[in-house]
Amino acid sequence: MVGVTTRKNSGTATPAKRQRASSGPASERRDHLVKLAAELFARKGFQATTVREIADEAGILSGSLYHHFDSKETIVDEVLSTFLDDLIARYRAALDSGKDARDVLTDMVRIGFGTLEPHRAAITVMQNDWNYLRQFERFNYLVKAEEEVEQIWVTQIKAGQAAGLFRPDVDPKLTYRMIRDTIWVAVRWFRPNGRLNTNALADHYITVLFDGLATGERTTQQA
């Protein structure tokens, strides 16, 4: 997701953390409005969703929405930063586990697939509206979070190569991006009530990632 100053070290709070710090736990009503708006953003796109549509979905007047949020940008801030804070905290915990690089990578794959249900709307918004949102200064934390996540993954892949756990002839950054895209794109087709839950989906992917499809001797040539 390259050296970067992480939020952990810099003390820079994301919008979700600033909200919690300034006013305590969000009210049930506020949480409900955020969830409704997140679903609309995911379904219609952030740019196409209006404040009136969010209010209509909640069964309130548009003006009433402004008692909770000053803009729809503030709402999407809360949606995205809550997701990223949770994701990165879980990745950091995996790093602090003391496991070897392969086990850490396995845990991070499970973490990634595990976000598909609780953060489905946020992941969809990230995919659909990333290029639009990153134009604005208030969303600079999106780029910083992406860089930090990439650094975490690439560092673990390199550590596994150095320890002889992973093939030395694969590019760490390219490998990370392939893993990332596989996980996040799954949000488009994964169904919570389908044949596989997120744990089973992660298990299957881990098997393919580490054991591959082919049997017998390696058929590809080293770079």
Confidence of residue 16 (pLDDT cuts 50, 70, 90): low
Confidence of residue 27 (pLDDT cuts 50, 70, 90): confident
Residue 15 vs residues 83, 130, 188: alpha-carbon distances, Å: 11, 17, 26
> In whole angstroms, what is the distance from residue 133 CA to residue 148 CA?
18
Give the pLDDT confidence of 43-53 residue by residue, as tens digits.
Answer: 999 999 999 99
Boundaries of every domain in the chain: 15-211
> In whole angstroms, what is the distance from residue 47 CA to residue 133 CA?
9
Could you say which architecture CATH assigns to the domain 15-211?
Orthogonal Bundle (1.10)
> In whole angstroms, what is the distance from residue 32 CA to residue 74 CA?
15
State the average pLDDT over residues 146-175: 97
**Residue 33, pLDDT above cutoff 50:** yes
Confidence of residue 194 (pLDDT cuts 50, 70, 90): confident
**What is the pTM for the complete model shown?**
0.83
